Amino acid sequence: MPPKKLYIKTFGCQMNVYDSERIAHLLAAKNYHLVENPSEADLVFLNTCSVREKPEQKVYSALGRLRVLKKKKSKMIIGIGGCLAQQEGEALLQRFPHVDFVVGTKEISRIAELLNDLEAFGKRGLAVNLNGRLDPYATLPFSLPSSSTVVAFVSIMQGCDNFCSFCIVPYVRGREVSRASQEILKEIQSLASQGVKEVTLLGQNVNSYGQTSPGDLDFVELLKAVQEIAGIERIRFTTSHPQDLSTPLIKAFGKFPKLCEHIHLPLQSGSARILQRMNRSYSPGFYLEKIRDLRQSCPGISVTTDMIVGFPGEEEEDFHASMEMIEKVQFDDLFSFKYSDRPGTRATLFNEKVPEGIAQRRLVELQALQRKITWKRNKAWEGKDVEVLVEGRSKANPEENMGRTRTNHIVNFPGKTLASGSIVQLRIQKAYAHSLRGEEIL
Ligand code: SF4
């Protein structure tokens, strides 16, 4: 049988990138091979995100385009997975007759079964049980990194128990469940044996790994065990909650040589009052203490964050508190978003919605401030020597190599083509807004 063609479009976060890779390998066993264009595909799978309104709208736009495509290619199969699939379930099948199956966040291992039913009986499929499978990955083949041969994501937990008032994750990914440590370690050993050098441990709140469900190791012990896997040179993790950033974890940064000097630590707001309304359980002062401890334990660690502007009830003074925190912490970079109501979350019930124009103005101001800080921090790398893991060719200039520092900065550099996975020492020559440029130290 000739191979069938699969196109996967991934929306949203790294967790979805990981899920897409696992789905691609699950479907490889059904003779599906990835293609880059939906118009070539026999099966189009949208791995969706509903964490904010914008990615959700993008999914609906993509579904509109696919409706047109399916009119020309009536045999094309369209499947939807991810958070929007979990959130909307059957409503997606009702609203979009050209969609063939909908699969929830805990049911991805059932995609092959849904396809079989579709092929054999023409039955449109729906599998959105959030409570059925503790580890949705347990029966899937190991994730082989398709986008890069040397860096890979590994999910270590699913779901979240924190119920931040703006966040839909606990409703669409379920309550927090840690994967068994031995499963995770086996997966990383397999990746290492296939040439992976860097792993990023993924979860909505990785630093509470093992706390609420039976992971055999706690998070620091897990990091230690990963560090002992031969072939793995670098370890990263994301995302962390400030409340679970324990002293042993902070100390691990200075102690575990493979643990990279970068942490993504979402702050969300600099206002104590807004943090409380967000149900974030820490104060700006607590957050600053964590940053101080991290920088003491690991001087030079890079810190990135997430910020929300326009949360219901955010006054001008709350916004200024956010701006002050950004000045105080001096983040290396941040991801900023305008608040949007997510169905079923507590914040949708808060009345004091911030007008769109004000939220937009705050977003622009906040991003302008961070651009200045990022530029200053990037500039400070000029003249410094760094270790870079080569990931491939530079996107901007395919004549050059591209890699990442341990602090997660992208560096492009000239010279002969180096194999992905090489580790080289570079001197940084020039800083740009989003990357650095270096030269090999010979
Ligand atoms: S910690 Fe809060 S923001 Fe993060 S996934 Fe959990 S509920 Fe959402």
Long-range contact pairs involving 430-436 (C-beta distance under 8 Å, separation at least 24): 430/382, 431/375, 431/378, 431/379, 431/380, 431/381, 431/382, 432/378, 433/371, 433/374, 433/375, 433/378, 434/410, 435/409, 435/410, 435/411, 436/378, 436/381, 436/405, 436/409, 436/410, 436/411, 436/412
User: Exposed, middle or buried: residue 149 (CB in 10 Å: 0-12, 13-18, 19+)?
Assistant: middle
305 cis-preceded (ω within 30 degrees of 0): no
Instruction: Please identify which residue in the block is written with the tokens 């270096």.
Output: 438
Greater pLDDT, 212 or 376: 376
- Calculate mean pLDDT across residues 85-97: 96
The predicted pLDDT at position 81 comes to 96
Domains and CATH numbers, the chain: 4-127 (3.40.50.12160), 385-440 (2.40.50.140)
Q: Which of 38, 163, 22, 41 lies closest to 81 in space, CA to CA?
A: 22
The predicted pLDDT at position 442 comes to 78
| Pocket test residue of 167, 209, 305 for ligand 1, highest count of atoms within 8 A of CB | 167
Instruction: Say if residues 76 and 43 touch (Cβ distance below 8 Å).
Output: yes
For 383, left (φ over 0), alpha (ψ -120 to 50), or beta?
left
How crowded is residue 219: how many other Cβ atoms within 10 Å of its Cβ?
27
What beta strand segments (E) does 180-338 contain? Answer: 198-202, 234-238, 262-264, 302-309, 333-338
What is the position in ligand 1's atom list of the atom closest to the CA of 161? 6
What is the position in ligand 1's atom list of the atom closest to the CA of 51? 8
- Calculate mean pLDDT across residues 34-58: 94
Q: Which of 160, 156, 155 lies closest to 175 in space, CA to CA?
A: 160
Confidence of residue 13 (pLDDT cuts 50, 70, 90): confident
Confidence of residue 214 (pLDDT cuts 50, 70, 90): low
What beta strand segments (E) does 85-166 contain? Answer: 101-103, 125-127, 151-155, 157-158
The predicted pLDDT at position 144 comes to 59
User: Exposed, middle or buried: residue 74 (CB in 10 Å: 0-12, 13-18, 19+)?
Assistant: exposed
> pLDDT above 70 covers what percent of the chain?
96
Residues 6 or more apart from 56 whose CB is under 8 A from it?
A: 48, 49, 50, 84
DSSP-H helix ranges across 29-110: 53-72, 82-88, 90-95
Instruction: Tell how far the Cα of 135 is from the centroid of ligand 1, in angstroms.
Output: 19
Mean pLDDT computed over every residue of the chain: 93
What is the position in ligand 1's atom list of the atom closest to the CA of 241? 1
pLDDT, tens only, 236-260? 999 999 999 999 999 999 899 999 9
Instruction: Say if residues 144 and 175 touch (Cβ distance below 8 Å).
Output: no
In whole angstroms, give the CA distance from residue 10 to residue 80. 10
In whole angstroms, give the CA distance from residue 46 to residue 116. 19
Instruction: Say if residues 110 and 128 touch (Cβ distance below 8 Å).
Output: no
- In the chain, the N- to C-terminal Cα span, in Å, equals 52
The predicted pLDDT at position 249 comes to 97
How crowded is residue 383: how many other Cβ atoms within 10 Å of its Cβ?
8
User: Exposed, middle or buried: residue 419 (CB in 10 Å: 0-12, 13-18, 19+)?
Assistant: exposed
The predicted pLDDT at position 254 comes to 86
Q: Which residues line ligand 1 (CB under 6 A)?
A: 160, 162-164, 167, 169-170, 204-205, 241
| Closest CA to ligand 1's atom 5 | 204
Confidence of residue 1 (pLDDT cuts 50, 70, 90): confident
pLDDT, tens only, 384-423? 999 999 999 988 888 899 999 999 999 999 989 899 999 9
What is the position in ligand 1's atom list of the atom closest to the CA of 205? 1
pLDDT, tens only, 262-272? 999 999 999 99
- Calculate mean pLDDT across residues 90-112: 95
What beta strand segments (E) does 12-164 contain? Answer: 32-34, 43-48, 77-81, 101-103, 125-127, 151-155, 157-158
Instruction: Tell how far the Cα of 169 is from the centroid of ligand 1, in angstroms.
Output: 6
Using the Cα atoms of residue 175, residue 176, residue 181 and residue 186 in order, give the sign of their dihedral: positive
Instruction: Say if residues 101 and 76 touch (Cβ distance below 8 Å).
Output: no
Confidence of residue 330 (pLDDT cuts 50, 70, 90): very high
* Predicted confidence (pLDDT) at residue 24 exceeds the cutoff of 60: yes
The predicted pLDDT at position 141 comes to 64
